[in-house]
Amino acid sequence: MSEVKNIPAIDPSKDPLSPEFWRNYFTDTQGGISLKDAMETCICEDAALDYDELERCSHFMNEVNAVLDDLNRVGVLSRENTILHIGCGTGTFAIRMAPVCQKIICVDDSEKNLKRLREKIQVMGLETNIEIQKVDWSTYKPDKEYDVVFAFNAPILRSIEGIDSLLASAKKYLAVVYWAGIRRNPLLIELFKEIMNFDYKPATPDIVTIFNYLYSLGYAADLKFFRGCWRRTKDVEAQIENLIWRLESRKKLTDEEKELVRKKAQSLAENGKLTLLTQVRIGYMLLDVMADKKSPCE
C-alpha cells in the first residue's frame, strides 16, 4: 500500500477559493480601497445627466432591456417583491421596474440625478411605488433586508465592505450591473496618457472580481456579458466638463491640464458638437441568495 502523504495547508491569503484572497485582491492587487476613500475620488454629481444622454444610444438600451428581460424571466420583477435600487441615476432602470414590482427604493448621492428622476416619476405617474433616498456613499448601508437588491455601476461596488452590506441586505436576489474590464474611449485614453504619463487602466475592481469573491463565500451567481459601443453626442463644452470629471477621478487637474483638454476637444468638434465613442464590456450578475437551499429535483 502506498504511503499517504500529508498535504500542507494552503495559506488562505494565497488560495483563490478563500474569501481572504479576494479581500486582499480588492485592497492590494486591483486598487480596491475603503468605501470612505473610494468616495473621495468619486465626483458623481458632475455625471448626473450623462445617463439621459446614454438612453439615446441603442447599444446601451439593448443592454438595459436584456437585463430587464432576464429579471422578469426569473421572477425578480414581481408584484411580490420590493427592490432596493443602488445607484439609480436618473431612473433608466427604475422607471421600467416600477410598474411591475411592489415598491422600488431608489438610492443615489446626486441631487441632480434625483431631481431628474422626480420629474420622470411625475410625468409617468409612478409616485405610488417609488421612494427616493439621497445618501452619502461613504457612510451608506442598507437599513434592512429587501427582497431584491439591484446595483447599477454604483460607487459602493468599489469596496469589499460595500459588497458585504449589499449581500447582507438581499433577502432573495442580488443583481449587479457593472464594468467588465473594457472601457475604451480613444480621446480619454490619449488625454490620460499625456496628463498622467502612464497608460489608462480602470482603477477599480470589476464584476468578475465581485463574482469570484461571492463564489469564495459559497455562492454561485449567474454571470453574463454585453459588448457594445456607447455613443454620446453633446455640446463640446459639456463633453469637456465630462472629460475633466473623468480625469479628476484620478487626480486634480491644473489649469494648464484643463486647457489641454479643452483645446483637444475643441479641435475635434463640429458645429459646436462633439461625439465620443466608448467601447465597453458590461457584466450582469444575478445571485439567487437562497438557491442552494432549494432542491432542483423537486
Give me the residue spans of the domains in the chain: 15-183+203-229+281-288
Sequence-separated (6 or more) residues with CB below 8 Å from residue 85: 93, 94, 97, 104, 105, 106, 107, 150, 151, 152
Q: How confident is the model at residue 41 (pLDDT cuts 50, 70, 90)?
A: very low
Three-state DSSP at 111 gives helix
207-216 vs 160-169: helix axis angle to the nearest 10?
60
Residue whose C-alpha is closest to residue 39's, from 156, 150, 135, 151 = 156
Q: Count of CB atoms within 10 A of residue 282's CB?
A: 26
Q: How confident is the model at residue 179 (pLDDT cuts 50, 70, 90)?
A: very high
Q: How confident is the model at residue 6 (pLDDT cuts 50, 70, 90)?
A: low
Question: With DSSP H G I counted as helix, E B as strand and the rest as coil, what are the percentages for the chain, rounded to 5?
Answer: 45, 25, 35
Q: Which amino acid, 231?
A: R
Q: What is the pLDDT of residue 18?
A: 92
Per-residue pLDDT tens over the stretch 10-39? 777 788 889 999 998 887 654 444 555 555
What's the angle, vertex CA 12, arms to CA 284 and CA 24, rounded to 5? Answer: 55
The span from the CA of 243 to the CA of 137, in Å, is 23
Tell me the β-bridge partners of 286: 175, 222
The span from the CA of 115 to the CA of 89, in Å, is 10
Q: What is the pLDDT of residue 203?
A: 64
Task: Indicate if the pLDDT at residue 157 is higher than 70.
Answer: yes
| 284 or 110, greater pLDDT | 284
Per-residue pLDDT tens over the stretch 82-112? 999 999 999 999 999 999 999 999 999 989 8
Does the predicted model carry a pTM greater than 0.85? yes
What's the angle, vertex CA 264, arms to CA 262 and CA 267, rounded to 5? Answer: 105
Residues 107 and 85: beta-carbon distance below 8 Å = yes
Q: How confident is the model at residue 9 (pLDDT cuts 50, 70, 90)?
A: low
Out of 1-10, 17-26, 148-157, pick the least confident: 1-10
Residues 287 and 173: beta-carbon distance below 8 Å = yes
Determine what percent of the chain is predicted with pLDDT higher than 90. Answer: 63
Domain 15-183+203-229+281-288 part of CATH 3.40.50.150: yes
Question: What letters, b where the CB count within 10 A reaches 16 and e where it falls short, cover 74-111?
Answer: eebbbeebbbbbbbbbbbbbbbbbbebbebbbbbbbbe
Distance from the Cα of residue 297 to its chain's centroid: 35
Per-residue pLDDT tens over the stretch 289-298? 988 777 666 6
